[in-house]
Structure 1
Amino acid sequence: MFTEKNIQQIKAHGLSEGIVKEQLQIFKNGIPFANVVEPASANKGIKVFSYEEQQQFVQLFEANKAKLELMKFVPASGAATRMFKFLHQFLENFNPEEDDIETFIQKEENKDLKTFFASTDKFAFSHLVKANLNEKYPDFKGFSLGKRYYLFVREVLGESGLNFSNTPKGLVPFHKVGKDFITAFGEQLYEAAYYATSNNVANLHFTVSEEHQEKFKARYNEIQDSIEAKTGVKFNISYSFQKNETDTVAVTPENELFLDENGNIVFRPSGHGALLENLNDIDADIIFIKNIDNVVSENYVETIAFQKKVLAGKLISLQHKIYDYVEKLHSETILDETLKEISQFISDELKIPNISANKKTLLTILERPLRVCGVVENTGAPGGGPFLIKDKHGNQSYQIVEMSQIDINNPQQKALVDKATHFNPVDLVCGVRDYKGKKFDLLKYSDPDTCFISSKSHQGKPIKALELPGLWNGAMANWNTVFVEVPLVTFNPVKTVNDLLNKAHQPK
């Protein structure tokens, strides 16, 4: 089914014919929806701790962190293009020589524009834009309001200006500090100093696009001295790229291999699930995972750090128990009452019910990677959440499930989704080593049945694309998972530029 040219392409991409055939089969077979049993809720799949309990977990983390290797893992691959979508539309649709700006921004579909223009001074990049405009246009202040707005936006997005259209989101100025600014990248470093630090060293790993790596390094060189002086912490930063061998092929709407006009296979990046390979390359006792844009201005950072330490303390508490039980299970003799105790622990803490109390079964469950996931109350934000699901073998487990994995055309399934009380903000603390300190091979704990198929286009032609199981969804489906409620202040993503006007992104 492959030409010799195609076979060479597949090999050059780090893939095999067998893997590509498996991908094509997934397109043809389709992907089963998740079978939701019920949404997780407070004290039913989601642990809610009192302040006293939170303090105990923080103290446990503080008491142990000096002897632990800590790492903060930040997916930071994306460009900021979508963040400025409505500004791009403004440049396309508004003619400063013909259109009246006041009439234009009063339209319902332009309400985001109205908010943006009413608040330009509150954005951390505004002074850069204005300085550039005053230099380029000495008569700028004499221009009509519409023309000033148009040139302002063009300076924000255009290649001859700040070029935020082609800038990674992590390097866009997010927060004002006096006359200076801090990017999301800088805030991730500053925040890490408060909780992902052991012996005054913070280790961070960013997954970036290869063409952006030097920009991140350059920004770090600009801020290194000031942030080290401010925090008293040394930063050890590493980078990786999404691997070519995690790309997937595209197909036609009829599920046939899609070839371009030159007969070449079209490979596509396979979503953030591909970063499981990058995560698997990291060896640390505790790995904090957080998206690049979910940061706060520095006056909120201590609150964020406290909640991170709660999650890490809970992870350590569980690990101490698990390691002790695994050691006992590996011994030659073990009491029946100890087996029952372990089975009860799995039911109470890991929320896996009806486990038979035999050594092999208990070891199979306990000898897996562990994650403690912060979840927030659902405010209607798009995205996944914590649900109890049933797999094809009838086993039930709590998982982070994306909405695209659920058949909302099924009235019963939609009713369960509508009852969901909590949301996944991507706030994970992971334990990836076994009781002897050996790192788990994370690739073994992914569920390949939880891929995504989406409709895309290539050079104007419709195609179907395949995404690997999401990093915190199917890629971690066979981990032990514990959900903990965290306050809404821990969730402050920047999906559009106007999100930077929210309280958590503004100075006091």
Structure 2
Amino acid sequence: MSFTEKDLKQIANRGSDLKTIEQQIENFKTGFPFMTAKRAATIGDGMIKLDEKELNEYLEIFNQETSKKKLLKFVPASGAASRMFKSLYAAKDEGKSDKSVEQFHEQIKSFAFYNSLSKFLKTNEKQEQLEALLGSNGLDYGNLPKGLLEFHAYGDSTRTALEEHLVEGAQYANNKGKVRLHFTVSPEHRKKFKDLINKVLKSYEAEYNVKFDISFSEQKASTDTIAVGMDNEPFLDNKGDLLFRPAGHGALLENLNDVDADIIFIKNVDNVVPDHLKSETILYKKALAGLLLCFQKQIFYFLKRLEKPEPSVYMVNKAIRFIKENLSVETPKGFRNWSPEEKYKFAIAKLNRPLRICGMVKNVGEPGGGPFWAKNSDDSISLQIVESAQFDMKNKKQKEIFEKATHFNPVDLICATKNHKKEKYDLLKFRDPKTGFITEKSQSGKTLKAQELPGLWNGAMSDWNTLFVEVPLITFNPVKTVNDLLRKEHQPA
């Protein structure tokens, strides 16, 4: 692949890496391989189900240990809300109506944002409602990110999704009265996020007797991926420049890599509930963080002993048994014939890496990823979140494995990204670059191919130690369409 001088200058100005871009073009040519899943992770086979006694034990560990830990709630919040209003746009612009549009109009007064909307309404006719909700002369919700939309009503007041995360954070990411939250936002909305924070922060600090430390970051331009035409040659825009596109949530691995914390809670911006339903979310967040600390302590125990001069064969074997039985890693074929030195290196490699607990909810037919045992590049088998697009559905056996999944990934992660010496891992070294996605898009009427980086919670974390834990369904209440806000889980008690 040869780039012109103009191309090279554009690449350099973006802060992109030429070798990475060349690899991306190669990926378009060769495609990404499907994952090889061995079986679905189920309760008792890769999935932990906590009973009440265990929940309370891990909750106690969390309460005892976290005063010494730096906590952070990390919320990907750059997603635009426009997809929430797809059917409403069709009604507004093309006069197309369906059941969801009718439901929106019939129950419009049940939305938390109705009072704000009503200020722009004179006749309250359907078209006027749509214009006022989505247009720039009204609430402009069609151009805002989800985090800034009014989600829930509390008497005469309302809360945006962002504010619900502040309230949640105050109740489980609270260390001695200090609550740290980090939001990833898009550049064009950063000011609006900051303005909202400045407006509401003092009242929430007074209500919950805490001090918030709020930070923001944007998806780095250097993580954007190059687009190509259907011939796999770089796609040029109307100005003759190379076209780069945002690379999906996997690009946020760079943002996650930049934050500093001992325990990081990750949750999508639209997955929040009103106060009367928060208790189970808070309980499980704390308990799962306690479980994470428990496993981390055992991992650090082995690492410290294995790093001593000439660790005993007994200690190496004990560590490998822990890796197999507790960290759910199946060794490669022929492992028993490996030399003591090779086994030692394997044990160190599997222990000395980031750790995450992934909450999983029972499968209720939601699209997306789930928990599986999958084959890794070193021929070991471990727990992975695998998206449906990563399965070869033409392969009968793989399709059957996918369909046997009992649980679904709600994006409920608790992460530890430091080693036993309190040093931060370079998270970019623990992703699987072969787990990206290729999609077809269009620009100025021309079809192109776009590439997404390995997803934040699947390929980007594929070489982490992973534990799956069942969490209650009430902890998963995403808002994918505007009418989801009419569900009882998003309505006042």
Deviation at 1:334, TM superposition (A): 3.5
Residue 296 (structure 1) aligns with: 273
Structure 1 residues 41-50 or 408-417, which shifts more?
A: 408-417
Contact 1:194–1:302 (8 Å) recurs in 2: no
What are the superposed Cα offsets for residues 412-454 of structure 1, whole Å, 9 maximum, x if unpaired? 2111111111000000000001001111110100110001100
Unaligned runs of 5+ in 1: 95-103, 142-147
How do residues 103-252 of structure 1 correspond to structure 2 at under 5 angstroms? 110-133=98-121, 137=122, 140=123, 148-252=125-229
Give the whole-Å Cα distance in 2 for the aligned partners of 1:254 and 1:457: 14
Deviation at 1:393, TM superposition (A): 4.0
Q: Cα RMSD over matched residues? A: 1.3
AA aligned opposite 1:23: Q
Structure 1 residues 278-287 or 14-23, which shifts more?
A: 14-23
Give the whole-Å Cα distance in 2 for the aligned partners of 1:123 and 1:62: 37
Equivalent residue in structure 2 for 1:480, among 447, 451, 465 = 465
Structure 1 residues 327-336 or 235-244, which shifts more?
A: 327-336
Find out whether 1:73 has 2:77 as its counterpart: no
AA aligned opposite 2:401: L
Find out whether 1:278 has 2:235 as its counterpart: no
How do residues 301-340 of structure 1 correspond to structure 2 at under 5 angstroms? 301-340=278-317
How do residues 336-375 of structure 1 correspond to structure 2 at under 5 angstroms? 336-354=313-331, 358-375=343-360
Deviation at 1:254, TM superposition (A): 1.6
Deviation at 1:162, TM superposition (A): 0.3
AA aligned opposite 2:111: F
Contact 2:84–2:482 (8 Å) recurs in 1: yes
AA aligned opposite 1:459: S
Give the whole-Å Cα distance in 1 for the aligned partners of 2:52 and 2:107: 37
Deviation at 1:260, TM superposition (A): 2.1
AA aligned opposite 2:86: K
Contact 1:10–1:16 (8 Å) recurs in 2: yes
Aligned length: 484
AA aligned opposite 1:341: K
Deviation at 1:503, TM superposition (A): 2.0
AA aligned opposite 2:363: N
Residue 420 (structure 2) aligns with: 435
Contact 1:387–1:399 (8 Å) recurs in 2: yes
Give the whole-Å Cα distance in 2 for the aligned partners of 1:9 and 1:286: 38
Deviation at 1:232, TM superposition (A): 1.1
Give the whole-Å Cα distance in 2 for the aligned partners of 1:332 and 1:487: 46
Give the whole-Å Cα distance in 1 for the aligned partners of 2:94 and 2:397: 43
What are the superposed Cα offsets for residues 71-130 of structure 1, whole Å, 9 maximum, x if unpaired? 111000111100111110111232xxxxxxxxx86xxxx111122122111100111112
AA aligned opposite 1:68: K
Give the whole-Å Cα distance in 2 for the aligned partners of 1:414 and 1:292: 31
SS at match of 1:399: strand
Residue 382 (structure 2) aligns with: 397
Equivalent residue in structure 2 for 1:461, among 431, 438, 446 = 446
Contact 2:34–2:392 (8 Å) recurs in 1: yes
Equivalent residue in structure 2 for 1:407, among 392, 406, 431 = 392
Residue 51 (structure 1) aligns with: 52
Give the whole-Å Cα distance in 1 for the aligned partners of 2:302 and 2:378: 26
Residue 86 (structure 2) aligns with: 85
What are the superposed Cα offsets for residues 178-199 of structure 1, whole Å, 9 maximum, x if unpaired? 1111000000010011101101
Deviation at 1:363, TM superposition (A): 1.0
Give the whole-Å Cα distance in 1 for the aligned partners of 2:148 and 2:119: 19
Give the whole-Å Cα distance in 2 for the aligned partners of 1:320 and 1:16: 38
Contact 2:306–2:315 (8 Å) recurs in 1: no
SS at match of 1:260: coil
Structure 1 residues 252-261 or 466-475, which shifts more?
A: 252-261
Give the whole-Å Cα distance in 1 for the aligned partners of 2:242 and 2:345: 45
How do residues 14-53 of structure 1 correspond to structure 2 at under 5 angstroms? 14-53=15-54
Give the whole-Å Cα distance in 1 for the aligned partners of 2:183 and 2:364: 28
Deviation at 1:333, TM superposition (A): 4.4
Deviation at 1:266, TM superposition (A): 0.4
Give the whole-Å Cα distance in 1 for the aligned partners of 2:344 and 2:3: 48
| Percent sequence identity over aligned pairs | 46
Equivalent residue in structure 1 for 2:245, among 248, 263, 268 = 268
Give the whole-Å Cα distance in 2 for the aligned partners of 1:333 and 1:393: 25
AA aligned opposite 1:383: G
Structure 1 residues 420-429 or 11-20, which shifts more?
A: 11-20
Equivalent residue in structure 2 for 1:470, among 455, 469, 473 = 455
What are the superposed Cα offsets for residues 143-184 of structure 1, whole Å, 9 maximum, x if unpaired? xxxxx1111111110110000011111000000011111000
Deviation at 1:16, TM superposition (A): 3.1
Structure 1 residues 167-176 or 119-128, which shifts more?
A: 119-128
Give the whole-Å Cα distance in 1 for the aligned partners of 2:290 and 2:76: 23
Contact 1:445–1:475 (8 Å) recurs in 2: yes
Give the whole-Å Cα distance in 2 for the aligned partners of 1:391 and 1:367: 17
AA aligned opposite 2:75: V
Deviation at 1:10, TM superposition (A): 0.8
Report the TM-score, using the length of structure 1 for normalisation: 0.93
Deviation at 1:230, TM superposition (A): 1.4
Give the whole-Å Cα distance in 2 for the aligned partners of 1:77 and 1:322: 34
Contact 1:373–1:484 (8 Å) recurs in 2: yes
Equivalent residue in structure 2 for 1:425, among 385, 410, 418 = 410
Give the whole-Å Cα distance in 1 for the aligned partners of 2:318 and 2:306: 12
Equivalent residue in structure 1 for 2:484, among 472, 494, 499 = 499
What are the superposed Cα offsets for residues 474-495 of structure 1, whole Å, 9 maximum, x if unpaired? 0001010010000001101000
AA aligned opposite 2:28: F
Give the whole-Å Cα distance in 2 for the aligned partners of 1:503 and 1:433: 40
